[in-house]
Structure 1
Amino acid sequence: MKFLTRSLMGLFLTALTLGLLAAGGYAVMAAISARNAAPERPAQARERVFAANVVTLDFGTRVPRLTAYGEIRAVRRLELRAAAAGRIRDLSPNFVEGGTVSAGELLVQLDPAEAQAARDTAAAARGEAQAALALAERTVAIASDDLTAAGRQADLRRSALERQRSIDAKGFGKAADTETAELAVSAADQAVLTKRTALSAAEAGLDQARNTLRRAEITLGEAERKLRDTMIRAGFAGNLAGISAVKGRVVATNEMLGELIDPAALEVSFRVSTAQFARLTDAAGALVPVQAEVALDLQGRTRSAPATLVRAGAAVETGQTGRQLFARLDVPAGFKAGDFVTVTLDAPPLEAVAEVPSAAVGADGRVLLLAAGDRLAAVPVEVLHRQDDTVLIHAAGLANGQEIVAERTPLLGEGLKLRPLRPGAAATAPALVPLDAARRARLIAQVEANARMPSETKARLLAQLAEEAVPAELIDRLEARTGG
């Protein structure tokens, strides 16, 4: 029974195979007959037409936008350092990280006991020097009066001597009286010299007292300065950063306790290429104060502020390229020192330039112009500026209204025919061509004979070929495969 069943199954499979072979042979013979029945026509080589997007040139004045990345810096910052060593006695409640302080506010108070004692000692020394100066001034005044009195006494003695000599000349005087008068004049002159010496000594004492007072005042000023050094005050209104001081801590001289930053005086430091820097300078090489926009990314939101280009770096640092620029923020609210920001600058405008996609310019510096007959022609251009996905070009051989290829590919080249795809143009319906019976049968046979074509695609193509009019693109594609 099993033998009979297997025999019948083998006969069935053999008959099925022969039937399929017969059907295939019939289809091949029908295709050959249809091709032989079709009129002979010479094979025509069809030029391949490429499709590409084109853009229209519009030459005019454009403002190049330069984009760079930089860091916010504080223009006005002050390091808070201990000018004297000592123990921290008091701290301002605002002396914390991020604290806001006003100008002149007392931030840190060191223990002033030693400095206060030195200041009081210096003040006492100055008082003693002032008293000594007053005494010296009085001594000079008295010595001057003594000298004046001695001078008058000497004048009187000379007058008496003159009278005695006049009496002697008349024969009434005595020699002893004249000698006594002369001795009195000599004694008076000696007294004048003594008083003058005393006045000189008093004046020297006055000068010494003045110098002593000056030294005492210097010592007092130094003591007061050291006393002031025990107090650290805010030089201007701002915010505190890098705070490292606590109450009771002993600090050393020049130890840094924090930093004061003015939040209203901020700038951004960024780098541009040498070519971009050249566009930001005038004919004399001076930097043009162009306007800029500084943007800070806040995780989906952007905070921006206007800025003004103020200066350029004096030198190029080792390992760096380009130029370092600085722009002052006009409205610094919302920005902090250390923020990483994006800087956009408006360079001086360029005349007679067109803005086109970057992909429109090839590596050889040329664009493909859509010339007469939709043929492509390569035209050299000068790229003046690149920004984002576009470039600003200048070309003497191009004019307004002409069209160029928006995206160059290796398949496109000079002399090729192009079917331009213009932005905003409505899609045109495919061209339909009526087929005669022989041509239709030949195309149907070609599709049916393609064993590698998926069944869904084959069914769709056969349905299109069964229509009265068939898309010309489909006919061209099928006939291009057979060379017909």
Structure 2
Amino acid sequence: MRFLRRSLTGLFLAALTVAGLGLAAYIVRDAVETRMARTSGSMPARERVYSVALVPVQSQTVSPVLEAFGEVVSRRTLEIRARTAGTVVELGENFVEGGRVQSGQMLVRIDPSDLEDAVALARADMADAEAEVSDAEAALILEQDDLASAQRQFELRQTAATRQQDLLDRGVGLAADLETARLAESSAEQAVLSARSNINAARARVSSAKIALDRSTIALKEAERRLNEATIRADFSGALADVAALEGRLVTANEQIATLVDPDALEVSFRLSTAQYTRLIDSEGNLVPAEVVVSLDLNDLDLVTTGTIARESAAVGDGQTGRLIFATLARATGLRPGDFVTVTIREPELEGVAEIPATALSSSGTVLVLGEEDRLQEVSVTVARRQGDTVLIEIGDLEGREVVEERTPTLGAGIRVNPQRVDENAEGAEGVPAAPAMVTLDEERRSRLISFVEGNQMMPPEIKDRILAQLRQPEVPANMIERIESRMGG
């Protein structure tokens, strides 16, 4: 019992000790919280300052640039079709895919045997018609002579009847003689009428013969035209595409055997939105002849040429939007119909605008401007144009001020910043392009590069000569070497 009593007493004392420690901890924690609550205003938090890059807003006159994608087409493209059926017996020189031909050059000749026979028959029919015309004209002359003879006979008979009537009036003639004279006069008059009818018939025969001659002439010309159509010639100088004719092949009438393209009459067609189109028309609604730059990306180099906007499509087209624009090309070296190119159009100049990075503009059309005490202010601006990574804004009251180059979620109105400005005169400053790195080539590497460029058949001769001239220099641009070797697989 003594052991049990001592054990319970020990447990009771231990419980009292734990309770006392817990009460002490609670009192200490409550005292600390009270102390901290009383002294919290004596340790102010430091304001955070962000470093930002600034760009100056300067009024300037800018020609905005539109960028679109278009296709190179030829203003003169002709489908060459067989006008008559038959077997191809001869092909002209360079009648192959990509072959260059001259205006009037023979391209294809179809077997003309049947057509030559038709021409010979038409000529024979024409000769027969000419003979019929000659015969009819001779018969008409004879009928006219017959009428003249009948007319003279009638005049003689008429004179004789008049004489018999005079004799009878004087009492020396007989009535029977007068009657006989009158009958002879009537017969002569009937002969005259018959001769006139024969003349009319002869004249009708002449007219019919001449009509038959005209028909024969037309038939002969038609046969000769068909014979000429058996030989197909180039209507203008150009290059051949889609060649589908071979010697000995049977072609049908109106079958397409090739396409003739004029490679020197190229233009580019591209589509603009209606909003972009309205920027290229003048006050009278006419399309301005703005300059365009057309470029074709070939990975290792670009084919670039210039042109001028010439016209627009008359209709939008089914399922299309915007406007289809056509621009003529000044020089189309290396370009071919069907090339997909990038078209850059320079708009009319805008005055009183400033160019800033697109990252400086928010989705709501505001920018952050540096204010007093290096604190930011949010200002609404009017966007005049968006082009690539930059935007053009109306200058307004921002002349000479600085805006944040790139907005982030942590920046806003009232925030204090540490301005970071770019020294335009410092080396490597933005807007001053660095000179390309130059590399001195050893002879083996130089020879390998030159051999690759000389063997490239797809490269235009002008560009090839320029690259070869640079490769033969003591020092060669490193970016050019990198592009060529990437195409070599080295």
Whether these two folds match at TM > 0.5 is: yes
Alignment partners' CA distance in 1, 2:43 and 2:348? 60
Q: Report the CA distance between 1:317 and its aligned residue.
A: 4.2
Map residues 151-170 of structure 1 onto 2, 5 A cutoff.
151-170=151-170
Alignment partners' CA distance in 2, 1:402 and 1:148? 117
Alignment partners' CA distance in 2, 1:332 and 1:144? 75
- Amino acid across the alignment from 1:373: E
Alignment partners' CA distance in 1, 2:185 and 2:295? 101
Alignment partners' CA distance in 1, 2:421 and 2:133? 102
CA contact 1:157–1:188 (8 Å) conserved in 2: yes
Q: Report the CA distance between 1:175 and its aligned residue.
A: 1.9
Stretch deviating more after TM superposition (132-141 or 98-107) = 132-141
Map residues 169-188 of structure 1 onto 2, 5 A cutoff.
169-188=169-188
- Amino acid across the alignment from 2:159: S
- Amino acid across the alignment from 1:421: Q
Is residue 268 of structure 2 the alignment partner of residue 247 of structure 1? no
- Which whole-Å deviations, capped at 9, do the CAs of 1:114-158 have from their partners, x for residues lacking one? 111011101110111111112112222222232233223322322
Q: Report the CA distance between 1:425 and its aligned residue.
A: 6.9
Please name the residue that 1:407 is paired with. 406
Partner secondary structure for residue 109 of structure 1: strand
Alignment partners' CA distance in 2, 1:231 and 1:73? 28
Please name the residue that 1:418 is paired with. 417
Alignment partners' CA distance in 2, 1:52 and 1:155? 131
Partner secondary structure for residue 302 of structure 2: strand
- Amino acid across the alignment from 1:225: R
Map residues 55-454 of structure 1 onto 2, 5 A cutoff.
55-396=55-396, 398-424=397-423
Q: Report the CA distance between 1:395 and its aligned residue.
A: 4.8
Structure 2 unaligned runs (5+)?
1-40, 427-490
Please name the residue that 1:24 is paired with. none
Q: Report the CA distance between 1:344 and its aligned residue.
A: 0.8
Q: Quick check: which has more Rg, 1 or 2? A: 1
- Amino acid across the alignment from 2:379: V
- Amino acid across the alignment from 2:362: G
Stretch deviating more after TM superposition (372-381 or 183-192) = 372-381
Q: How many residues align?
A: 386
- Amino acid across the alignment from 2:261: I
- Which whole-Å deviations, capped at 9, do the CAs of 1:422-464 have from their partners, x for residues lacking one? 111799xxxxxxxxxxxxxxxxxxxxxxxxxxxxxxxxxxxxx
- Amino acid across the alignment from 1:390: T
- Amino acid across the alignment from 1:146: D
Partner secondary structure for residue 295 of structure 2: strand
- Which whole-Å deviations, capped at 9, do the CAs of 1:311-369 have from their partners, x for residues lacking one? 22334445544332211112223211111211111112222211111111111111112
Q: Report the CA distance between 1:295 and its aligned residue.
A: 1.3
Alignment partners' CA distance in 2, 1:206 and 1:409? 102
Please name the residue that 2:443 is paired with. none
Alignment partners' CA distance in 2, 1:304 and 1:153? 98
Partner secondary structure for residue 269 of structure 1: strand
CA contact 2:354–2:395 (8 Å) conserved in 1: no
Alignment partners' CA distance in 1, 2:425 and 2:312? 51
Structure 1 unaligned runs (5+)?
1-40, 428-484
- Which whole-Å deviations, capped at 9, do the CAs of 1:365-411 have from their partners, x for residues lacking one? 11112223322221111212122211111153x24212111111111
Q: Report the CA distance between 1:59 and its aligned residue.
A: 1.8
- Amino acid across the alignment from 2:244: S
CA contact 1:380–1:395 (8 Å) conserved in 2: no
Partner secondary structure for residue 326 of structure 1: strand
Superposition TM-score, scaled by structure 2 size: 0.75
Q: What RMSD over aligned residues (CA atoms) do the two structures have, in Å?
A: 2.0
CA contact 2:59–2:395 (8 Å) conserved in 1: no
Alignment partners' CA distance in 1, 2:252 and 2:70? 37
CA contact 2:52–2:404 (8 Å) conserved in 1: yes
Partner secondary structure for residue 192 of structure 1: helix
Alignment partners' CA distance in 2, 1:369 and 1:76? 56
CA contact 1:55–1:404 (8 Å) conserved in 2: yes
Partner secondary structure for residue 212 of structure 2: helix
Q: Report the CA distance between 1:103 and its aligned residue.
A: 0.8
Partner secondary structure for residue 98 of structure 2: coil
- Amino acid across the alignment from 2:406: E
Q: Report the CA distance between 1:78 and its aligned residue.
A: 0.9
Q: Report the CA distance between 1:271 and its aligned residue.
A: 1.9
Please name the residue that 1:36 is paired with. none
CA contact 1:56–1:401 (8 Å) conserved in 2: yes
Please name the residue that 2:54 is paired with. 54
Stretch deviating more after TM superposition (223-232 or 361-370) = 223-232
- Amino acid across the alignment from 1:348: P
CA contact 1:72–1:269 (8 Å) conserved in 2: yes
Q: Report the CA distance between 1:184 and its aligned residue.
A: 1.9
Stretch deviating more after TM superposition (370-379 or 230-239) = 370-379
Alignment partners' CA distance in 2, 1:417 and 1:152? 135
CA contact 1:376–1:416 (8 Å) conserved in 2: yes
- Amino acid across the alignment from 2:145: D
Stretch deviating more after TM superposition (103-112 or 150-159) = 150-159
For CA contacts below 8 A with separation 6 or more, give which structure has more relative contact order: 1
- Which whole-Å deviations, capped at 9, do the CAs of 1:263-301 have from their partners, x for residues lacking one? 111111112222211211233433222111111223322
- Amino acid across the alignment from 1:410: P
Q: 1:82 to 1:425 in 2, by over 3 A?
A: closer
Alignment partners' CA distance in 2, 1:203 and 1:350? 84
CA contact 1:70–1:340 (8 Å) conserved in 2: yes
Alignment partners' CA distance in 1, 2:61 and 2:137? 85
Partner secondary structure for residue 213 of structure 1: helix
